[in-house]
Amino acid sequence: MLIIPAIDIKDGKCVRLTRGDFSKKKIYLDNPLDMAIIWRKQNAKMLHVVDLDAALTGDMVNFEKIREIVVNLDIPVQVGGGIRSLDAVKRYLDIGVGRVVIGSAAVTNPKLVEELLKIYRPSKIVVGIDAEDGVPKIKGWTECSGLKDYELGLRMKAMGIERVIYTDITRDGMMQGFGYESTKRFAEKTGMKITASGGVTNIGDLRRLDELKSCGVDSVIIGKALYENNFPCQQLWYNYEEGICLDHNFSTARTK
């Protein structure tokens, strides 16, 4: 199971939200690049970066912050948040982003997905489905889509999309475990490659996720649980860290 640390950017800073609520924001580091370097030094094989400002407005507010991460790291970076046009996708892929995540636009402008797949390989284009009680939400999780999650998944599959990042919103940022049943149901109904997201809290959750590999769930995005040191092995990583020294809550980061 590939573990992908998440970096959410709001107002240029590395933050985490609770259930996508922008009023429940916690800042972990002022510079998202510092956070990216920390995860890479702890052997992350891939990063998931989201422009939260763009998710609300569609404007690529944090493009330069994301570019800094991409050009300074030697691992793939997937980017999501407000990507709603061919130009936005091209800008990200041109700077070296490994793959882009189409969220709201998959619902509001499905023709964009069709156009993208005419230009780029399916491995470059991923659809993010963020569902609450089985219904995808869009525009920064502020509006309902009117579809069932698996219906949207099957539509995207018919267009040529191979992978979905599936998030159970009711679990995201709650530190109460991930949506096992909702993720399993979605994976079984669509038969797609799935990156799970939202609510993974501890090693027990990872073991349960491992049970879903036969359904196509092969990777997981983890946010708050990593930032809050919920995995025992993290302390071992910190003890052997050579380049960065940081406190338990990530409130500071400095070079030795």
Q: Which domain holds residue 38?
A: 2-255
Q: How confident is the model at residue 75 (pLDDT cuts 50, 70, 90)?
A: very high
Residues marked active site are found at 8, 130
The CATH number given to whatever domain includes residue 28 is: 3.20.20.70
In total, how many domains does the chain have? Answer: 1
- Alpha-carbon distance of 201 to 229, in angstroms, equals 10
What's this model's pTM, rounded to 2 decimal places?
A: 0.85
In this structure, are residues 15 and 49 in contact, taking their beta carbons and an 8 Å threshold? Answer: no
Q: Could you report the per-residue pLDDT of 210-245, keeping only the tens digit for each?
A: 999 999 999 999 988 898 888 766 655 554 444 433
In this structure, are residues 37 and 252 in contact, taking their beta carbons and an 8 Å threshold? Answer: no
Chain Cα centroid distance, residue 163: 13
**Tokens matching residue 112:** 């964009």
